[in-house]
Amino acid sequence: QQQVKQSPQSLIVQKGGISIINCAYENTAFDYFPWYQQFPGKGPALLIAIRPDVSEKKEGRFTISFNKSAKQFSLHIMDSQPGDSATYFCAASKRNAGNNRKLIWGLGTSLAVNP
């Protein structure tokens, strides 16, 4: 059972448009929600992250919107550029027994930005 559900699986956006990727979770114990960006041939890299005590976080053209009551969060890429073409993963993190943190991943969204 996928604990973090990510949609869409793939997305095509025109240059200058807004890319929106959505994620939903069930477990209210999650307390940290990162987004990772992965380019072909590379490992994922942290793009932006949010904690549930805020509803929005913005870094440049990238914004996370967080809806705690709906248990949903989304990534918005404003003014999308061809260089943003990559796979994006949402994730949710919670503390496990033994002071360990568990990161649960969405299945990823392949974004293509057409020039």
Indicate which single residue of 11, 17, 22, 32 sits in contact with another protein (rule: CB under 8 A): 32
Binders in 95-114 for another protein, by CB under 8 A: 98-101, 103, 105-108
Footprint on residues 62-81 left by another protein (CB under 8 A): none
- Number of other CB atoms surrounding residue 74 within 10 Å: 18
Part in contact with another protein (CB under 8 A); list of ranges 18-26, 43-51, 52-60, 63-71: 43-51
Neighbouring residues of 14: CB distance < 8 A, sequence distance ≥ 6: 80, 113, 114
Task: Verify binding: residue 54, another protein, rule CB under 8 A.
Answer: no
Spatial separation of the C-alpha atoms in residues 7 and 68, rounded to whole Å:
18
Selected from 13, 35, 44, 63, the binder of another protein by CB under 8 A is 44
Are residues 35 and 91 in contact, defined by beta-carbon separation less than 8 angstroms? yes
Please, what is the minimum distance in Å from the beta carbon of residue 46 to another protein? Answer: 5
For residue 33, report the phi and psi dihedrals to the nearest 5 degrees: -130, 100
